Amino acid sequence: MSTMKTEFLCVLLLCGATFTSPSQETYRRVRRGARSYKATCRDEKTQMTYLQHESWLRPLLRGSQVEHCWCNGGRAQCHSVPVRKDGDCYTGNGLAYRGTRSRTKSGAFCLPWNSVFLMSKIYTAWKSNARALGLGNHNHCRNPDGDTQPWCHVWKDRQPTWEYCDVPQCVTCGLRQYKRPQFRIKGGLFADITSHPWQAAIFVKNRRSPGERFLCGGILISSCWVLSAAHCFQERYTPHDLKVVLGRTYRLVPGEEEQMFEVEKYIVHKEFDDDTYDNDIALLHLKSDSLTCAQESGSVRTICLPDASLQLPDWTECELSGYGKHESSSPFFSERLKEAHVRLYPPSRCTSRHLFNRTITNNMLCAGDTRSGGDHTNLHDACQGDSGGPLVCMKDNHMTLVGIISWGLGCGQKDIPGVYTKVANYLDWIRDNARP
C-alpha cells in the first residue's frame, strides 16, 4: 500500500467516514438517472439482465472474438463475432472494448480504475471480476456494467463522477456471416437470411378477405428505416395495413430470430413516375415505443449506404436477394429467400436502345447475368416479387447498397439486364426524410 493511499484512508478514518457500497442495481439507477428496467433475460456470464429483443456483446475468455447476444423469449441467444484489434472503435454497446482511449466526450482525462479516489465505487480495479471486465491498473475507457457505450470515472467539481468516452462506434453495416448456397434453382440460388441480414419482407393486409399477403422486398438502412421501391405502394395503402418482417429465411415461416414491426408511416418520392419508374424509391418508418427499432443480430443488420461519389468498375459482380418468383411464368412467389449474382452494366449498355425503347434515366442503373455459352435457361435476375429489394456490392470489405430492384423485361433473358434505382442519387433525399 502506497504512502498516498495510506494517508488518504487515515484521513477518512479520522473524519469518521464510513463506506456503504450500494447494490449494483442501485448504482446503475443512480448513475443513469433512476431509469427503470424490466428484465426478461439474464446473462449468467456477465450477471446482467436485458429486455426482450435487446442485444449486447460479451467477451470470450480467449481469442480475439466476442459473443453477440440477443434476448429472445426469455432466453439469450448468442454467436461469436470478430473484434477489431486496433481498439479504435467499439461494437454493440462496447462491452468488449479493450482499446486505449482515455478521454471523455467533454475532453476530460479518465481516472485510473485503481485510483484511491474510487474506493467507494463499484466498478474499480479491486472488483472481484475486474480482469474479466477489462478493469485494472490503467485509465482506459470500458463498459463494465453494460451501459449504452464505454465510459470512465473522471474528477470533476472536486469529486469523482463519470462520463461517456470519446470512442467512435465501429461501422458494422454491410457485415454478414455468409453461407454458401447449397441449392441451385432456376434464376438464382436458395439463401439463408444471415447471408443477407438487411433483407426485409413487406406484407399488406388483404382488403376483401382475412389475412395478409406478401407485397415487396425492402432494405434495412438504419434501426427504424427501411428502403423499398415506390411502385410497390401505388395502391396507397394505409400504414396500418403494412407490416415489415426482418430476419426471415422462409417467406411465410417465422424465423427463430425474426423481428416484426408495424409501419408508422411511409414516404414515396414525390416525383415518382409510374410510367417510366423514374425516382422509384420509398422509405418506411418502423413503429416502436423507443428510439430504436430493429436490434442487430446475425439475422438482422443494416446495409451500408454508398458515398455520393461511388464509382464501381464496369462489370463489377454484385448480389441481389428477394422472395420473388423463380421465373415470370411462375404462379407463386418463392417460399424461401433467394440470391442472384449479376454484374453492373456500363452506361453505354444501359440505354433505351438496349431495352426495347423503354425510358432509361440517370436515376437508373442496369445489372445482369453476363455468362456466355452453354445453357441460358438459368440466368440470374430479379423477378416479380423482388421489387424493393437490394442490389449490393462489396466496397472496403462491407456490402454496400448500390441499387433498389425496380423493373425489367421478363426475368433472366439473355443480354437483357434488370433495371435498378441508383441509390447514390438519393442520399440527400434519404437523409432529409429518414428522421424521427
d(CA 270, CA 283): 12
Is residue 231 flagged as an active site residue?
yes
207 C-beta neighbours (distance < 10 Å), count: 9
Average pLDDT, stretch 65-87? Answer: 66
pLDDT of residue 24: 43
**Nearest of 430, 217, 201 to residue 320 by alpha carbon:** 217
Concatenated DSSP letters for 142-156? B-TT--SS-EEEEEE
User: Across the strands, what pairs with 283?
Assistant: 227, 267
* pLDDT above 50 for 28: no
Q: How many residues does the chain have?
A: 436
Q: Which of 231, 269, 285, 380 is catalytic?
A: 231
pLDDT band at 37 (very low <50, low <70, confident <90, very high): very low
220 C-beta neighbours (distance < 10 Å), count: 29
pLDDT band at 10 (very low <50, low <70, confident <90, very high): very low
d(CA 317, CA 186): 19
d(CA 71, CA 60): 18
> Could you tell me which residues come within 8 angstroms of residue 66 by beta carbon, excluding any fewer than 6 positions away?
57, 58, 59, 60, 80, 81, 83, 91, 92, 95, 96
Per-residue model confidence as pLDDT tens digits over 365-405: 999 988 754 445 567 878 888 999 999 999 999 999 999 99
pLDDT of residue 88: 79
392: amino acid identity, one letter: V
d(CA 322, CA 385): 7
What is the grid cell recorded at 252? 411465410
d(CA 66, CA 376): 45
* pLDDT above 80 for 301: yes
- In three-state secondary structure terms, 355 is helix
Average pLDDT, stretch 342-366? Answer: 95
d(CA 220, CA 196): 10
- In three-state secondary structure terms, 364 is strand
Concatenated DSSP letters for 375-433? --TT-----TT-TT-EEEEEETTEEEEEEEEEE-SSSS-TT--EEEEEGGGGHHHHHHH
pLDDT band at 144 (very low <50, low <70, confident <90, very high): very high
pLDDT of residue 373: 47
Per-residue model confidence as pLDDT tens digits over 166-212: 999 888 899 998 888 766 655 678 999 999 999 999 999 998 889 99
Burial class of residue 45 in the structure, from the number of CB atoms within 10 Å of its CB (0-12 exposed, 13-18 middle, 19+ buried):
middle
* pLDDT above 90 for 326: no
pLDDT of residue 106: 95
Concatenated DSSP letters for 161-205? EEEEB--PBP--TT---------EETTEEE--GGGSTTEEEEEEE
* pLDDT above 60 for 237: yes
pLDDT of residue 81: 57
User: Across the strands, what pairs with 338?
Assistant: 190, 322
pLDDT of residue 120: 93
pTM of the model: 0.70
Q: Give the single-character DSSP code of 305.
A: P
Q: Which of 192, 280, 381, 386 is catalytic?
A: 280
Mean pLDDT, the chain, as a whole number?
84
* pLDDT above 60 for 328: yes
* pLDDT above 60 for 40: yes
Burial class of residue 63 in the structure, from the number of CB atoms within 10 Å of its CB (0-12 exposed, 13-18 middle, 19+ buried):
exposed
What is the grid cell recorded at 109? 482525462
pLDDT of residue 170: 87
What is the grid cell recorded at 88? 479504435
* pLDDT above 70 for 357: yes
Per-residue model confidence as pLDDT tens digits over 245-293: 999 999 999 999 999 999 999 999 999 999 999 999 999 999 998 878 9
Is residue 396 flagged as an active site residue?
no
Rg of the chain over Cα atoms, rounded to whole angstroms, equals 26
Lowest mean pLDDT among 9-23, 42-56, 111-125, 220-234: 9-23
Is residue 53 flagged as an active site residue?
no
pLDDT of residue 58: 65
361 C-beta neighbours (distance < 10 Å), count: 16
Q: Which of 102, 299, 321, 387 is catalytic?
A: 387
* pLDDT above 60 for 36: no
- In three-state secondary structure terms, 21 is coil
pLDDT of residue 347: 95
* pLDDT above 50 for 314: yes
pLDDT of residue 319: 96
62 C-beta neighbours (distance < 10 Å), count: 6
pLDDT of residue 63: 43
Average pLDDT, stretch 43-69? Answer: 64
* pLDDT above 90 for 110: yes
* pLDDT above 60 for 13: no
Instruction: Considering only residues 3 and 54, tell me which one the structure prediction assigns the higher pLDDT.
Output: 54
**Nearest of 82, 87, 116, 83 to residue 101 by alpha carbon:** 87
pLDDT band at 65 (very low <50, low <70, confident <90, very high): low
- Cα pseudo-dihedral 237, 238, 239, 240, rounded to 10: -120
